[in-house]
């Protein structure tokens, strides 16, 4: 069972058009 805590980042490599 994977009871590890892990999170993926939804903004990974999203460019910021600032």
Count of positions on this chain that bind another protein (CB under 8 A):
17
Q: Compute the least distance from the CB of residue 6 to another protein, in Å.
A: 4
Q: Compute the least distance from the CB of residue 1 to another protein, in Å.
A: 10
CB neighbour burial string for 1-18, b if at least 16 within 10 angstroms, e if fewer: eeeeeeeeeeeeeeeeee
Among residue numbers 1 through 18, which ones bind another protein (CB under 8 A)? 2-18
Q: How many angstroms separate the CA atoms of 16 and 3, rounded? A: 34
For binding to another protein (CB under 8 A), which residues are involved? 2-18
């Amino acid at each position: 069972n994977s009871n590890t805590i892990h999170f993926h980042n939804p903004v990974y490599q999203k460019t910021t058009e600032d």
